[in-house]
Amino acid sequence: MTEKRTAYINARLLNPESGLDAAGALLTEGAEIADLGPQLFADGVPDGIETVDCSGHCLSPGLVDMHVHLREPGHEHKETIATGGLSALAGGVTSLCSMPNTDPVIDNVALIEFVQRRAREAKGVKVFPFAAATKGLDGKQLTEFGMLAEAGAVAFTDDGLPVANSQVMRRALSYAKTFDLMISQHAEDLSLSGCGCMAEGEVATRLGLDGIPEISETVLVERDIRLVEHSGGRYHVAHISTAEAVDCVRRAKARGLSVTCEAAPHHFSLTDLDVGDYRTFAKMAPPLRSESNRAAIVEGLKDGTIDAIATDHAPHDQESKRLPMAHAANGIVGLETLLPLSLELYHGGHMTLLELLRRLTLAPAELLKLPVGRLRKGAPADLLLFDPDVPWVVDTAKFRSMSKNSPFDGRPVQGRALRTVVDGRTLFTAGT
């Protein structure tokens, strides 16, 4: 049986790997990219090939989100692998990494296989699972890294909780080094955070709320970098949020250490002022910080200190969020706002479109050694067609996610996914 061929013509091709930014066309054959370039189909598309006219819009690799909470198993009333996948596709995400803080915790081979099976059944976005670094996320006993990696785990983390014990973290970095896999850390000293429910500062004081100091992040990042220096392991700071932590990573990179980090859109597009009068939809971990910290995240993305942009998509039901600030759950949904919020960096003149797309596609793929995030012959036909300029207003009621907990509801934005393609199959089209 002849594999289906599709020609994407009149496109602005954007490929961060090669630096390509030019008008042209791309051909998919089955699940792969067969050809691309400015001269492709210059004499027209041959018969027998389906044609998609991109009308001058941007055609790039599909987005790769390396930090997503899908809630399955155990919290399917908040999100499932299937519904999270639909939300991802609507946001232009073709590959994502699922976090292990489910119920039960994804700390064994059977649960890695469960996530993979459920993703295959959904026949949508590609799901690459992270496994827990410690059993039950208890921070004490390491999981079986080798067996989990063989089963398909692409990295290890206790995300939602830090690996607080220094000896355990030292062993985790050394153990993961054996398999050339990464340890991702939720960098927070809980003894310093205490009962805080937003960033320490003027806003928390005015609201009469316990604050989380910036040092709670910095202390753990500094400690972990010392452990990386000792062990030689690969270390990644999840959802980095403070200027000092960014500086720590910057200095570590300058010393040649295997230290990387990611930032979430809410940490470069919002501040603690957006908590307003006890807006629990703006409560997250790490919390929204001051303007100086927000600006430092933008600067870290500009100069390459921050390697990737990831959503930390964290769905919650209304009952978990509509509580007093101190008791409300942490986290927001982010898959469907990833692209427009990230494009604010482009529209604001902070980054070129290619630089931005690198942090959304190629960089996370390279960090995790995934065969995605690229436009090249033979690569998976995971594509995003998007308009970077179209204005719209975020409406959480229209989200594909089961949960609607976003502080961006009603925010005017620019840029939207028009078509999302996974392995050559169109799985999302705007307006449908």
Q: Is the dihedral of CA 289, 294, 295, 296 positive or negative?
A: positive
> Are 171 and 141 a contacting pair, CB within 8 Å?
no
Checking if the pLDDT of 1 tops 70, the result is no
- pLDDT tens digit sequence for 214-223: 999 999 999 9
CA distance 390 to 397: 20
Domain end among 367, 394, 417:
367
Domain residues for 132?
Answer: 62-367
Confidence of residue 432 (pLDDT cuts 50, 70, 90): confident
Checking if the pLDDT of 194 tops 90, the result is yes
Question: Given phi > 0 = left and psi -120 to 50 = alpha, else beta, which region is 201?
Answer: left
At 223, which CATH number?
A: 3.20.20.140
181 domain residue, yes or no: yes
- pLDDT tens digit sequence for 38-48: 999 999 999 99
Q: Residues 285-290: what's their mean pLDDT?
A: 98
Same domain, 363 and 385: no
Residue 226 structure tokens = 């010392």
Q: Which of 25, 88, 31 is nearest to 52 (CA)?
A: 25
> Are 357 and 47 a contacting pair, CB within 8 Å?
no
Confidence of residue 2 (pLDDT cuts 50, 70, 90): confident
Residue 169 has a pLDDT of 98
Q: Residues 242-262: what's their mean pLDDT?
A: 98
CA distances from 364 to 180, 182, 284, 296, 359 (A): 15, 12, 22, 20, 7
Same domain, 250 and 206: yes
Question: Annotated catalytic residue: which of 159, 272, 312, 382?
Answer: 312
At 49, which CATH number?
A: 2.30.40.10
Same domain, 155 and 286: yes
pTM score over 0.95 = yes
Q: Average per-residue pLDDT in the chain?
A: 97
216 domain residue, yes or no: yes
Same domain, 52 and 130: no
Same domain, 117 and 186: yes
Domain end among 316, 338, 367:
367
37 domain residue, yes or no: yes
- pLDDT tens digit sequence for 344-390: 999 999 999 999 999 999 999 999 999 999 999 999 999 999 999 99
- pLDDT tens digit sequence for 93-135: 999 999 999 999 999 999 999 999 999 999 999 999 999 999 9
E strand map for 63-200: 63-68, 93-98, 126-129, 155-157, 182-185, 198-199
Same domain, 163 and 296: yes
Confidence of residue 181 (pLDDT cuts 50, 70, 90): very high
**Count of the separate structural domains present in the chain:** 2
Query: Would you call 409 a catalytic residue per the annotation?
Result: no
- pLDDT tens digit sequence for 12-68: 999 999 999 999 999 999 999 999 999 999 999 999 999 999 999 999 999 999 999
Q: Residues 317-337: what's their mean pLDDT?
A: 97
